[in-house]
Chains A and B, each alone.
Chain A
């Protein structure tokens, strides 16, 4: 079945550092790809998405490009802030069914220090 693999955390950075969180996927079809962010004690918020190969999703300085050839959707930000500290989840929409369910990676905790 479809699956998502993220780099393990926690990732600890200083403010204004460059961020990369790796995400690779396995899918039999053509899934849409997502990045969600979860702040402590809260639900998930959509950060960005891409629906087809070579699409670039971007939001709040974060961006990720749907790379079909490498089956990747790495999250990047040029200059992180303390307020970016959260757990980030890469996800794909299940391409093997019509239910629309999401399959999540294990999550990567980002800690940004001032």
Chain B
């Protein structure tokens, strides 16, 4: 139990285009999901906290107009990187609080490469 499915696992896009990343909770309802960004050989940096039915809370320094987060249902949160540029290339990971023994469950991540 407590599986978070993240898609796509990797994507290559052209500079200036937008990319949507989906994060789904498969066997539980996720009221809150988190979006992280990981640079090569570095730690995970929290980008935003996504709450179902309300606006996401962004961390300081994260452009909310560039990284659009939607959490329209209890099982789906999406991150859209708008007008992507090469500096947006990174590994993006979502997670959800599942409680109990599982705690935070993470998606498998999305490798975004902007060319």
Count A-side interface residues using an 8 Å CB cutoff.
Answer: 21
Q: Give the distance in Å from the alpha carbon of A36 to the alpha carbon of B105 in the complex.
A: 10
Residues 37-53 of chain B, each 1 if its beta carbon lies under 8 Å from chain A, else 0: 00001111010010000
Q: Specify which of B6, B41, B49, B103 is in contact with A101 (CB 8 Å cutoff).
A: B49
When distances are taken between beta carbons in the complex, the residues of chain A under 8 Å from B41 are 107, 109
A82: interface (CB < 8 Å): no
CB within 8 Å of A: which of B88-108? 93, 95, 97, 102-108
Q: Give the distance in Å from the alpha carbon of A103 to the alpha carbon of B34 in the complex.
A: 12
Could you list 28 A-B pairs, sorted by A, with CB under 8 Å?
Answer: A32-B103, A34-B103, A36-B106, A42-B108, A43-B6, A43-B93, A43-B106, A43-B107, A43-B108, A44-B44, A44-B106, A46-B102, A46-B104, A89-B43, A89-B44, A99-B32, A99-B49, A99-B57, A100-B32, A100-B97, A101-B46, A101-B49, A102-B44, A102-B95, A104-B43, A104-B44, A107-B41, A109-B41
